[in-house]
């Protein structure tokens, strides 16, 4: 029977620890989440981020701009937040409306305030093994792996998915932890064979229950980043959870990686706040 990696409980512990640190700082780290338009899923995410930040003692606010906001207006808003000394972290919620170029918005955020870790400078720092702000979901996955007790050094890790937000930075973090890393994706010749070799399997491909039980090596640690909706409306991950009981440990969906993403957004905001004040 696979152990369940409870991301909800771990995230609560991480957030409680952050709240304690924030209480001793003498200032409140400032986070601004910028939302443009009315993407319904974004509304839920943004509210959850805001609530978690407030509960941990951060000065958090959401800037909700209308769907008709022009690219120039958004870039102007980001520039104002870059210049605002009370703002430590800026997160531009994705997706943006189609008339705004995502890479321009991401590239406009001051890398020192880029708590999503999406700016090319932070991505480059990560790929170069240099310190910087790291994307929240991969950072959360590293916490979950530490919690699992899995041996990372020398282990074969497979990252399924090559997105800028999860797959690529995830592979860099695992490499930094001395794993032997493979990145597989939807065009990989024999995905099953690649997965079956993995001691650590991180699925971030966005396809409901694509990873079958037979693809999972007995004793592997399985981290499921996917959040998909089945035809009947229920949520599921990228891994066929019911077939994965021969794994050593697995994250549930929901309640696995998702809560850790928010906890790590707060970690990044605190890191940015401390670094901006000279690394106290």
Residues of this chain that interact with ligand GUN (CB under 6 A) are 91-94, 116, 136, 165
116 has catalytic annotation: yes
Q: In this complex, which beta carbon is closest to ligand GUN, that of residue 29 or of residue 138?
A: 138
Q: Is 49 part of the annotated catalytic residue set?
A: yes
**Catalytically annotated residue among 50, 88, 114, 116:** 116
Question: Is the Cβ of residue 97 or residue 213 nearer to ligand GUN in the bound state?
Answer: 97
Structure tokens at 250: 């697995």
> Of 165 and 221, which has the nearer Cβ to ligand GUN?
165
Residue 115 CB, shortest distance to ligand GUN, in Å, is 9
The smaller minimum CB distance to ligand GUN, of residues 52 and 136, is found at 136
Residue tagged active-site, from 93, 113, 217, 271: 93
> What phi, psi does 184 have (nearest 5°)?
-115, 165
Give catalytic status of residue 164 as yes or no. no
Closest approach of ligand GUN to the CB of residue 220, in Å: 26
Query: Following DSSP, what letter does each residue of the chain receive, concatenated?
Result: -PEE--HHHHHHHHHHHHHHHHHTTSS--EEEEEEES--HHHHHHHHHHHHHHHHTT-EEEEEEE-TT--HHHHHHHHHHHHH-TT--EEEE-SPPPTTS-HHHHHHHS-GGGBTT--SHHHHHHHHTT------HHHHHHHHHHHHHT---TT-EEEEE---TTTHHHHHHHHHHTT-EEEEE-TT-TTHHHHHHT-SEEEE-S--TT-B-GGGSPTT-EEEE---EE-TTS-EE-SB-GGG-TTSSEE--SSSSHHHHHHHHHHHHHHHHHHHHTT--
Residue with Cβ nearer ligand GUN (25 or 94) = 94
Q: What residues are annotated to the active site?
A: 49, 93, 116
């Amino acid at each position: 029977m696979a152990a369940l990696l409870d991301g909800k409980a771990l995230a609560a512990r991480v957030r409680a620890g952050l709240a304690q640190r924030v209480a001793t700082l003498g200032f409140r780290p400032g986070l601004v989440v910028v939302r443009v338009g009315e993407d319904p899923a974004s509304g839920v995410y943004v509210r959850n981020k805001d609530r978690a930040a407030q509960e941990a003692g951060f000065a958090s606010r959401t800037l909700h701009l209308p769907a008709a906001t022009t690219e120039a207006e958004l870039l102007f808003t980001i520039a104002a937040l870059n210049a605002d000394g009370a703002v430590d972290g800026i997160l531009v919620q994705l997706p943006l409306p189609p008339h705004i170029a995502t890479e321009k918005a991401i590239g406009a955020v001051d890398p020192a305030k880029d708590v999503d870790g999406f700016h090319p400078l932070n991505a480059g720092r990560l790929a170069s093994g240099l310190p910087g702000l790291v994307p929240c979901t991969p950072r959360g996955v590293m916490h979950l792996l530490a919690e699992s007790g899995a041996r990372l050094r020398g282990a074969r890790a497979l990252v399924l998915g090559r997105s800028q937000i999860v797959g690529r930075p995830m592979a860099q973090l695992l490499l930094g932890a001395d794993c032997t890393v493979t990145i597989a994706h939807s065009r990989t010749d024999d995905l099953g064979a690649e997965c079956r070799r993995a001691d650590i399997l991180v699925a971030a491909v966005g396809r409901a229950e694509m990873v079958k039980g037979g693809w999972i090596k007995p004793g592997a640690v399985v981290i499921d980043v996917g959040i998909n909706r089945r035809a009947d409306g229920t949520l599921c991950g990228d891994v066929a959870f019911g077939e994965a009981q021969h794994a050593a440990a697995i994250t549930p969906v929901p309640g696995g990686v998702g809560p850790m993403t928010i906890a790590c957004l707060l970690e990044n905001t605190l890191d940015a706040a401390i670094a901006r004040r000279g690394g106290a």
